[in-house]
Amino acid sequence: MAVALLVAAGRGERLGSGRPKALVLIGGRPMFEWSLRTLQALPSLHRVAVALPPGAEIDAIGDGVVVVQGGATRSHSVREALRAVGAGDPVIVHDAARPFAQLELFERALAELDRGDVDAVVAAVPVADTIKEVADDDRTVTRTLDRGRLWAVQTPQVFRREALERVMAESPEELLAGATDDAWLIERAGGSVAVVRADPSNIKITTEFDLRLAQVLISERQP
Ligand code: C5P
């Protein structure tokens, strides 16, 4: 049976809502609850650990759900949630900041991992924009990347437990602090990671604009 880590411990400073991002209401529900309900609909799921910011209080959220205090960075929150979630393999990691991830995306990612030849599978979309690398100092372009090979990575990300536990135990603190996704830790440790095609509607809510977009997407879903 699988276990899931729902990381919801970000402060949401870029959103400027004055409360932790995962507790901001979308369509009348705290943001993290949308993904939690989707995860709870997965037949293969055993338990979920939700990482929340220190002091965050939430209502009872059901059997098989454990709440933990998150860490200083995203990967630290993943590490805390992994310690708390109990037995289960594979491990699904999902950002509470992506409330629109669909059940079928979780299922396809798990099915891809189940094929057996990689350590992790990450949701991703081919990039639509041309991406340029720019020098920090004077903003001149240093190179233009080949768009045909670029994918923008999202969550869910699903891992063989042994691979995720190993990088969480062995990665130096500064790497955990700098990791913007956990699959990168697997890659740099020599593990293999595959992408599964996701939908651009699986947005990450970071700014006030994203929140406005989210309210529109939710209102389209609700009767
Ligand atoms: O900050 P960012 O939007 O990249 O965060 C991605 C996800 O990681 C969010 O769901 C956020 O709540 C979570 N996070 C966390 N612990 C942190 C920082 C971010 O659980 N210390």
The Å distance, Cα 36 to ligand 1 centre, comes to 15
Ligand 1 closest atom vs CA 7 = 20
Q: What was the pLDDT predicted at 223?
A: 56
Q: What was the pLDDT predicted at 57?
A: 79
Q: What is the CATH number of the domain that holds 46?
A: 3.90.550.10
Contact 110, 92 (CB under 8 A): yes
Ligand 1 pocket residue status of 181, Cβ below 6 Å: no
Whether omega before 172 lies within 30 degrees of 0, making that bond cis, reads: no
Note down the domain range covering 199.
Answer: 2-221
The Å distance, Cα 177 to ligand 1 centre, comes to 12
Ligand 1 pocket residue status of 97, Cβ below 6 Å: yes
- The domain total for the chain is 1
The Å distance, Cα 109 to ligand 1 centre, comes to 21
Ligand 1 pocket residue status of 30, Cβ below 6 Å: no
Ligand 1 closest atom vs CA 206 = 3
Cα→Cα distances 183→33, 94, 121, 124, Å: 24, 12, 8, 12
Q: What was the pLDDT predicted at 55?
A: 85
Ligand 1 closest atom vs CA 204 = 3
The span from the CA of 69 to the CA of 6, in Å, is 12
Identify the three-state secondary structure at position 204.
coil
Q: What was the pLDDT predicted at 137?
A: 84
The Å distance, Cα 188 to ligand 1 centre, comes to 21
Nearest CA to ligand 1 atom 2: 10
Q: What was the pLDDT predicted at 222?
A: 62
- Pick out the chain residues at pLDDT < 50: none
Q: What was the pLDDT predicted at 16?
A: 76
Model confidence, pTM? 0.96
The Å distance, Cα 76 to ligand 1 centre, comes to 10
